[in-house]
Structure 1
Amino acid sequence: MAQARKTVASRTGKTLPRKAKSASAKKATEAKKAEQAAAVPLSQFLESAGTLTLNQRKVLVDQALLLLEQNYVHLPLKAAMHAVNPLQRLRVLRARMERQTADSMEDEWLFHRQMSAIFHSVRDLHTNYLLPVPFAGKIAFLPFMIEKCHDAGADQYLITQIVTGYSAPQFGLGVEVTHWNGTPIARAVALNGAAFAGSNEAANLARGLESLTLRPLVIQSPPDEDWVTLTYQGLDGTVQELREQWKVTTNLPPMTDLDAITEVSASMGLDLDADEKARAKKVLYVRDVVELEGGESSAALDAPVAVGAADLPTTMPGVFRARQVSTSSGTFGHLRIFTFSVTNPIAFRDEFVRLTGLLPEEGLIVDVRDNGGGHIYASEFTLQTMTPRHISPEPVQFISTPLNLRICRRHKDNPAGIDLSPWLESLELATETGAAYSAAKPITPADGANAIGQTYYGPVVLITDARCYSATDIFAAGFADHQIGTILGVDDNTGAGGANVWTHGLLATLLNEPPPPDQTSPYEALPNGANLRVSIRRTLRVGDLSGTPVEDLGVKPDVLHRMTRDDLLSGNVDLLNAAGALLAAKPQRRLDVSTSLSGTTLTVELDVDGMDRVDLYLDDRPISSEDLAGDPLTIEIIDVSPGQLLRADGYSAAELVASRRISV
């Protein structure tokens, strides 16, 4: 058995960051750029819409009823919290359709509006009616973006992005919008937010503001108006008014096929509305990233590329932005995560590790504002890199229904596809016990969530807002539950989307794969490329809030910061100063471990700051526990074989504060 002996040693240097990948970056094709740049007036686009027959509409209503009644995990919660009954609304709509004919049925836009309103009523951004062609893949937009700040004791709504080449009298970045179609802007935002309801008031207002100028037509009904009238205080201080028409263009494609039976599609926690808007913002405002990604979403490049002059090069420019920032409290790392929507969660984690290794060790600002989520593995695999604690992935539950039980039975112990065996036994027992939900089991593998352990050792602040949703909510909840650092919010809450989401297409495929297909499957093919999404498994918190659902509750920040005018127009300067102040107040710690193996003797050199004890483990077996007096130590461990894993756990006042792993 390995043993340890110690001597005093000299101070050693820090580990260098690993090298970045190399090769050439992808280039967008001219054809794809031309397609994405093309835009037509909304009125012209709508002339081509409207091909659903009455029978096709009936299929959509029937399948919506099926999903909400048999698959939708949040239905009891939503009915209780928001006093809604989407099933009855669908039944009423279906009954009225029986009295219609092809000649008397309402216009197709009205049918889509009714379906969207029913799905929006549950205030769940995972549970959606997805419009058919020609709406799918299209975005309606105005050539500017508005954001809210709090300045001089009042809320202000400022223009913060403008499409290249667009101009209007006395119009530019920083002008204040006062009215929208004659309605005071704050009231217009609230009314719009009620139509596209989020899970809480902060989410309502955030989405109401965003949807004033940008609407993914696959998930939001087209605007009622062909144009909007905007009243604003011009650059010269005069009151100005402009009339701008809505236009429609093609969005970037989604990251993956969510209807296919894959680990990626089964592990999605994604606010599609936010994801569509994030891709649309790249099309409208960040063309250099679109070109780097070759017109694909969240593409990984062969070699790191810096988008901005101050940015660190990254292989995922549509996913990460990393840089050093100077604040009033010091220089720290700032890592923006735009999305978790990737196909390879390990590559995502590794790029996060590489970038943080290039940033200052004095503190890290992880910024997930506007992040609508994506691959749940990617979010939970990343948490381990910032904490010495063992990560417990959030568990999830199915609602107990005959159809969910049927799906889990078909996919019991299915290594080639989606393995649902962890939830099967509890769903079978629920038939006898009357339990409303299955057992709570994690989607993310616990070994993957703890595969590499801590890699960043400075203090961490997480910045959130009300547009954080789904896998990002799960990331924020895990950050809080494992006490990784301080959460600094620019809104009162995150978006509060706590679920794994599946499409109608995926559910239908689950009863047809593996062969032979289930001839009694209740799922029918949807017409014209329409689709439905539903929260299939709800997520629960761990730690002190163990068992609390994330849906509708979200994650509250430890500290609140209201965005200022300087934040919107000068690179988040006040927000980053607030984050820097939080980091500067945290203790600085360092755990340097170097090793050398000679024969079967492993020499370990320890050099630490901010710790009074280090425990050593070899392949998880305890080897040595050393009280430190501030001087470096050398420890020799005998009977060691190459390939064994050394772990050093650092403590301060009996609290685990750092951990490092080294393969011998």
Structure 2
Amino acid sequence: MSQPRTMTRTGKKTAAAAKKTAARRRTSAAVDEAAAVPLPDFLEAAGTLTLDQRRLLVDQALLLLGENYVHLPLKVAMHAVNPLQRLRVLRARMERQTDDTMQEEWMFHREMSSIFHSVRDLHTNYLLPVPFAGKIAFLPFMIEKCYDPEGAGGAGDTEHYLITRTITGYQAPQFGPGAEVTHWNGTPIARAVALNGALFAGSNDAANLARGLESLTLRPLVIQSPPDEDWVTLTYVGLDGSNQELREQWKVATNLPPMTDLDAVSESSALMGLDLDSDEKSRAKKALYVRDVVELERGQSSAELAAPAAVAGADVPTTMPGVFRAREVVTSSGTFGHLRIFTFSVQDPVAFRDEFVRLAAMLPQNGLIVDVRDNGGGHIYAGEFTLQTMTPRRISPEPVQFISTPLNLKICRRHKDNPSGIDLGPWFDSLDLAIETGAQYSAAKPITPEDGANDIGQTYHGPVVLITDARVYSATDIFTAGFADHEIGTILGVDDNTGAGGANVWTHGLLASLLNEPPPPDETSPYIALPNGANLRVAIRRTLRVGKLAGTPVEDLGVKPHETHRMTKADLLDGNVDLLNRAGALLAAQPVRRLDLKTSLSGTTLTVGIDAQSIDRVDIYLDERPISSEDLTGPLSIDILEVTAGALLRADGYASGTLVASRRVTV
């Protein structure tokens, strides 16, 4: 990797800085130094699309946005955009071009990306062809935002942008975690973040700023155009308070592979709710900064290990180190469990749910902090299967809708009787009637099977706080909406909203395959193979809320937290200490419930021992039939006659007439 240029604010390079620059070597714990190349060198090999190939990409983009894109009416209304007209104008101009007069390829990619970004939907993307796919452009450090603590400087709203991570071995004068960035290429840092956020727009202001900050130093080239600049000039306040500048060159390296082939005709690919930008960045951060996890997973993202392993000494060992981090945290209000979920992008949602249950059981039972910050989603089942484990209420999975078009009807007709594969039958009848009824959308049906969302019930009985931010998206937005709609606990946000991505997303490759499988292929399919590994993604089914906000779309609206915490310098540099103290205080203010069952079967008589805390009544069910209702003043034992092995026993606990806990046991 090349060396950064370090300067004082006067622009003169100091002798000490020059000596350090010449002497130091930087090595990455996970990025192959020999493989990382300067951005200009990488771009020299890019640019092989012919004019006809570009026209094909525009035509297929018109098809997906016009016939498959479920949010198009919403986006046109909320953001006053017209992506179809922009594509038509681009296509018309291409008719007047030749191979000799066509614009440079980077300008074509920039225009296509701009059109897709205009809808402010991180599910709906133009994915660049080779050599961009699978590559990341990066700077060797991360920047995060924090605020003054409440009361320090007035209202606690003064922003600071701190260096929080550097690639192993990277050095610059007075540079490292805690150095404060003031300017980016001469632009005040807050303004630079806002301008960058406008290029990679999220669904709301909080998401815009979060994306803008993250993309300053890390860009997945498959989904974001390469940086315009070859290098950046960073102005910062050094660790000793001195004013410093450095110039750092953009580098390009290969990212870790994704968990799921999103083009494949498989249940996993069809059930994805994934912000690809966040997923790419998550894997890139792991590759750049978290070598231990990469080594445990052996380079396979979200891999399930044969035996649990701990990444850090205080962690509870987990079979999914790239997915979970579980540990006890000591806060100013007590000791609680902290369970971080980095991604829902897994192949097996039941294994995900079961590992969540196992980890939560090994943590303190008096309160659990579930932390989904930066989680861009993944398998929709994984999130909605997990909600049941934290509440006695029955889970109603969020329903989804197709937009009513002839092409979506054709896809659903082909897969309406396909229970062993991608079954679109629940949406077919309403789409089939839509021409006659004039309905804009299909009927709203859940993707997640309700039985699967309720098959094990509650396993954690303590109070729960969910921590979110503006990078929460897609399946994680769905998980957060379900958490709110079922009133599972308090949502503590470090931003004013989640990323507001409410959809199931399919690729052009998957859409094309759905009209070709099962054989024979549909000879009238309008999907044409895209050139050079380019791809398109589209939000295909929109999600709606349940509960008190039933019918409200998640897209663009997101989930607002019950409480907000502004990240502090101590949070960024000292393990989220203030954030966890705030979460601990919320947990400590809630009652701790406990509902334990002990069973013993003798012949056909089942003895049930019940011990509970903060519960005054228990209702007993056997194979869903009511058996008994008991008032609790202490431990209780009851006998149930004529019970056979394998029966399902359920106890529902109440406090002042409100259902507050549930426990299931197989006899």
How high is the TM-score relative to the length of structure 1?
0.95
2:23 is matched with which residue?
A: none
Q: 1-side partners of 2:84 and 2:339: how far apart? A: 43
Could you tell me how far 1:415 is from its partner in structure 2?
A: 2.5
Matched, 1:515 2:512: no
Matched, 1:114 2:104: no
What amino acid sits opposite 1:505 in the alignment? Answer: G
Q: Is the 8 A contact 1:36 1:283 kept in 2?
A: no
2:654 is matched with which residue?
A: 651
Q: Is the 8 A contact 2:272 2:504 kept in 1?
A: yes
Cα shift readout 1:253-310 (whole Å, capped 9, x = no counterpart): 0101111111100100000000000000001000111111010110000000000111
Could you tell me how far 1:416 is from its partner in structure 2?
A: 3.4
Could you tell me how far 1:38 is from its partner in structure 2?
A: 2.4
Q: 2-side partners of 1:484 and 1:36: how far apart? A: 46
What amino acid sits opposite 1:162 in the alignment? Answer: T
1:254 is matched with which residue?
A: 258
Q: 1-side partners of 2:137 and 2:485: how far apart? A: 39
Q: Is the 8 A contact 1:388 1:656 kept in 2?
A: yes
Task: Write out aligned runs for 1:216-231 (5 A).
Answer: 216-231=220-235
User: 2:650 is paired with a residue of what secondary structure?
Assistant: strand
2:37 is matched with which residue?
A: 40
Alignment counterpart, residue 141 of structure 2, candidates 136, 140, 144: 144
Matched, 1:504 2:508: yes
Matched, 1:97 2:94: yes
Q: Is the 8 A contact 1:36 1:251 kept in 2?
A: no
User: 2:610 is paired with a residue of what secondary structure?
Assistant: strand
Could you tell me how far 1:35 is from its partner in structure 2?
A: 5.4
Q: 1-side partners of 2:524 and 2:32: how far apart? A: 42
Cα shift readout 1:93-131 (whole Å, capped 9, x = no counterpart): 000000000000011000000000000000000000000
**Unaligned ranges ≥5, structure 2:** 1-28
Q: 2-side partners of 1:34 and 1:240: how far apart? A: 27
What amino acid sits opposite 1:103 in the alignment? Answer: D
What amino acid sits opposite 2:525 in the alignment? Answer: S
Alpha carbons of 1:127 and 1:36: their partners in 2 closer, same or farther (altered >3 Å)? farther
2:642 is matched with which residue?
A: 639
Q: Is the 8 A contact 1:36 1:250 kept in 2?
A: no
Q: 1-side partners of 2:421 and 2:652: how far apart? A: 38
**Unaligned ranges ≥5, structure 1:** 1-31
| Consecutive aligned runs of 4 or more in structure 1 exceeding 6 Å deviation | none
Matched, 1:444 2:441: no
Residue identity over aligned pairs, in percent, reads 81
Matched, 1:379 2:376: no
User: 2:451 is paired with a residue of what secondary structure?
Assistant: helix
Q: 2-side partners of 1:109 and 1:36: how far apart? A: 26
Q: Is the 8 A contact 1:255 1:298 kept in 2?
A: yes
Please tell me the root mean square deviation across aligned C-alpha atoms, in Å.
Answer: 0.9
Q: 2-side partners of 1:307 and 1:623: how far apart? A: 47
Q: 1-side partners of 2:594 and 2:261: how far apart? A: 43
1:53 is matched with which residue?
A: 50
Q: 2-side partners of 1:156 and 1:201: how far apart? A: 18
What amino acid sits opposite 2:128 in the alignment? Answer: L
Q: Is the 8 A contact 1:128 1:532 kept in 2?
A: yes
Q: Is the 8 A contact 1:616 1:622 kept in 2?
A: yes
User: 2:436 is paired with a residue of what secondary structure?
Assistant: helix
User: 1:591 is paired with a residue of what secondary structure?
Assistant: strand
1:545 is matched with which residue?
A: 549
Alignment counterpart, residue 359 of structure 2, candidates 355, 367, 370: 355
Matched, 1:126 2:123: yes
What amino acid sits opposite 1:276 in the alignment? Answer: E
Q: Is the 8 A contact 2:30 2:290 kept in 1?
A: no
Q: 1-side partners of 2:621 and 2:177: how far apart? A: 56
2:3 is matched with which residue?
A: none
Return the structure number with greater relative CO, CA threshold 8 A, min gap 6: 1
Task: Write out aligned runs for 1:406-555 (5 A).
Answer: 406-555=410-559
Matched, 1:135 2:139: no
Q: 1-side partners of 2:177 and 2:430: how far apart? A: 56
Alpha carbons of 1:36 and 1:75: their partners in 2 closer, same or farther (altered >3 Å)? farther
Could you tell me how far 1:486 is from its partner in structure 2?
A: 0.1
Cα shift readout 1:465-492 (whole Å, capped 9, x = no counterpart): 0000000000000000000000000000
Q: 1-side partners of 2:408 and 2:33: how far apart? A: 40
2:194 is matched with which residue?
A: 190
Could you tell me how far 1:220 is from its partner in structure 2?
A: 0.0
Could you tell me how far 1:236 is from its partner in structure 2?
A: 1.4
What amino acid sits opposite 2:144 in the alignment? Answer: E
What amino acid sits opposite 1:136 in the alignment? Answer: A
Could you tell me how far 1:37 is from its partner in structure 2?
A: 6.8
Q: 2-side partners of 1:195 and 1:35: how far apart? A: 30
Q: Is the 8 A contact 1:170 1:236 kept in 2?
A: yes
Q: 1-side partners of 2:213 and 2:593: how far apart? A: 42
1:311 is matched with which residue?
A: 315
Q: 1-side partners of 2:549 and 2:266: how far apart? A: 31
Q: 2-side partners of 1:33 and 1:356: how far apart? A: 30
Q: 1-side partners of 2:641 and 2:487: how far apart? A: 36
Q: 2-side partners of 1:572 and 1:34: how far apart? A: 27
2:85 is matched with which residue?
A: 88
1:25 is matched with which residue?
A: none
How high is the TM-score relative to the length of structure 2?
0.94
What amino acid sits opposite 2:453 in the alignment? Answer: A
Alignment counterpart, residue 396 of structure 1, candidates 400, 406, 411: 400
Q: Is the 8 A contact 1:36 1:252 kept in 2?
A: no
